[in-house]
Amino acid sequence: MRLATEASAQVPTVAGLAGYYTLWVRYLRTGRPVAALYRPVWGVPVPMAVLPVLVFVAAAGWLRNPWLGASVVVLAVGHVPAALRIAREVSDAR
């Protein structure tokens, strides 16, 4: 049973990290415009802010680490709203 639980946490961790790295490649290949950091993907308004949160949530479950889980809450509360605000400013500037 433990292997199934670990695999169910490993898959979103690896998938989220792969998605995050893919978005960095997109940013670098498009000439590093600031707007590329905040461009929505698949309906997610700020994927480069949301994906790290999801990766750390999955990692906290994978490692069964409540301290990492609590840290993710702090990260999410600060990082996602700040990214949304910046995304709004970047889109208004265009």
Q: Does pTM surpass 0.75? A: yes
> What are the backbone angles phi and psi of residue 92, rounded to the nearest 5°?
-70, -30
The predicted pLDDT at position 80 comes to 96
The predicted pLDDT at position 5 comes to 65
H-helix segments, the chain: 2-29, 34-38, 47-63, 66-93
Q: Which of 87, 9, 85, 24 is nearest to 54 (CA)?
A: 9
Strand partners, 63: none
The CA distance from 66 to 60, in Å, is 7
Write out the residue range of the structural domain in which residue 46 sits: 2-93
Residue ranges for the chain with pLDDT beneath 50: 1
Per the structure, the count of domains in the chain is: 1
The predicted pLDDT at position 92 comes to 82
- Cβ contact 45:84 at 8 Å: yes
